[in-house]
Amino acid sequence: MSLRVAVQMDPLDRINITGDSTFAIMLKAQDLGYELYWYAPDDLSFAQGRLWTMGYPVSVRQVEGNHFSFGEPRILDLAKDVDVVLMRQDPPFDLGYITATHLLERIGNATLVVNDPASVRNAPEKLGVLDYPQFMPPTAVTRSLGLARTFLAEQGEIVVKPLHGFAGGSVFRIGADARNLASLMEVFNRTYREPHVLQKFIPEIAEGDKRIVLVDGEVAGAINRVPGAGEIRSNLAVGGKAAKTELTAREEEICALLGPECRKRGLVFVGIDVIGGKWLTEINVTSPTGIVAVDTFNGTDTPGLIWQAIDRRLAERRN
């Protein structure tokens, strides 16, 4: 069955096609004969009881610097003119992002939105993980300097990061001497209105941070992301290096618990982060990445698995 697919994402001319997960998913859709449209989240409009956008027919190719072409734009009724919307713009998870989830939720009975917008809104990366405290490192979510000092004294060494940060941005390590803790909390409190995440520093991060990809609740693959020299951040976007890996028994336990819940919530493509083979730190549902590296190391086809999962969900709707 040929599908009409609208991709809500950032500008295509800014992506790195060698590692971009959305681009890989689009390439696979095109190989399958699907009709692709691109639009920006800012282009969403609601009027006359319908959700509209200016969509651009798009073709993609694995040619650096010449990796896409647009056709003539057309106004799309997202409840009638497409079968699937992929919500794939990068964070920040701000009011604009949240508003887009509310608007897309209004077409859910007519068009399949992946990931489910209500579930994305209700489970941002560093908050959704709070549902699984048995797997988390010691964690605090706060704007309070007093609590931060107490937490540091209890844990000995911590990291501080923005609640809605992404791609490893603004992650700081604070030692037992508490040097710069007060200044850092002051800067964070001025910069962000929401509280911040404090977590016990896990020395095993030097050995890597594992990204495990779940497709409709099933493990599709994993990579180990190893920090660069002098870094505690392992994200590929900030210089981390990908390495082949296998799941530990503890990681399999985590996935067995998370998988069915992700499937139930309509979270088709999820990336979870685990340190030291046992510490779950994030559940990425907004715009997960890593599938290109996973497929490179494992010889797998994660975009194909994603489209198979989408096809199954569409078939369930028709029955």
Assess whether 190 carries a catalytic annotation: no
Q: Which helix (H) or strand (E) holds 274?
A: strand 269-275
Give me the catalytic one of 20, 125, 282, 295: 282
Rounded CA-CA distance 26/289 in Å is: 14
Half-sphere exposure of 228 (CA within 13 A, CB side): 7
Rounded CA-CA distance 209/235 in Å is: 8
Give me the catalytic one of 210, 211, 263, 265: 211
Give me the catalytic one of 88, 161, 200, 265: 161
Give me the catalytic one of 88, 121, 126, 200: 126
Rounded CA-CA distance 261/216 in Å is: 10
* Dihedral angle, C-alpha 166, 284, 78, 38, nearest 10 °: 50
Assess whether 233 carries a catalytic annotation: yes
Assess whether 318 carries a catalytic annotation: no
Give me the catalytic one of 233, 251, 265, 295: 233
Assess whether 61 carries a catalytic annotation: no
According to DSSP, the residues that pair with 210 across neighbouring strands are 224, 274
Give me the catalytic one of 125, 216, 273, 295: 273
Assess whether 88 carries a catalytic annotation: no
User: Do 149 and 160 meet the contact criterion of CB atoms below 8 Å apart?
Assistant: no
Which SS3 state, helix, strand or coil, does residue 222 take? strand
Give me the catalytic one of 115, 224, 235, 284: 284
For residue 126, report the phi and psi dihedrals to the nearest 5 degrees.
-95, 0
Peptide bond into 66 cis (omega under 30): no
Assess whether 231 carries a catalytic annotation: no
Assess whether 28 carries a catalytic annotation: no
Q: What is the DSSP string of 163-175?
A: TT--TTTT-EEE-
Q: Which helix (H) or strand (E) holds 308?
A: helix 302-318
Rounded CA-CA distance 130/87 in Å is: 23
Give me the catalytic one of 88, 225, 263, 265: 225
Assess whether 313 carries a catalytic annotation: no
Q: 130: which DSSP letter?
A: G
Rounded CA-CA distance 206/202 in Å is: 9
- Determine the angle formed by the axes of helices 291-298 and 21-31, rounding to 10 degrees: 70
Rounded CA-CA distance 147/83 in Å is: 48
| Residues classed as catalytic | 126, 161, 211, 225, 233, 273, 282, 284
